[in-house]
């Protein structure tokens, strides 16, 4: 798989899911799409984990203590 951004990978994964849900394709092609989707899913999951670790590092104070704060902003929560 060529280097892609998280967003490109997620979009491609969504397209694969749509294809698998709506298309009447041969089993072999469906299996290849499924395998590609699994690879993209793992890539996206890894990227999310890496990002979470980076955010944790950035939220440590000078003593190295991690302060937990909700990720969602109050504005975002109230708009739901």
Residue range 51-68, pLDDT digits in tens: 888 887 777 777 777 776
Residue 13 contacts residue 44 (beta carbons within 8 Å): yes
3-state secondary structure at position 60: strand
Residue range 11-49, pLDDT digits in tens: 999 999 999 998 788 999 999 999 999 999 999 999 999
Confidence of residue 79 (pLDDT cuts 50, 70, 90): very low
Rounded to two decimals, the pTM is 0.67
3-state secondary structure at position 66: strand
């Amino acid at each position: 798989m060529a280097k892609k951004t998280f967003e490109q990978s997620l979009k491609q994964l969504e397209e694969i899911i749509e294809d698998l849900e709506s298309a009447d394709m041969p089993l072999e092609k469906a299996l290849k799409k499924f395998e590609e989707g699994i690879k993209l899913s793992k890539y996206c999951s890894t990227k999310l984990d890496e990002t979470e670790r980076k955010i944790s590092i950035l939220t440590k104070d000078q003593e190295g203590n991690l302060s937990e704060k909700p990720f969602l902003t109050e504005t975002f929560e109230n708009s739901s």
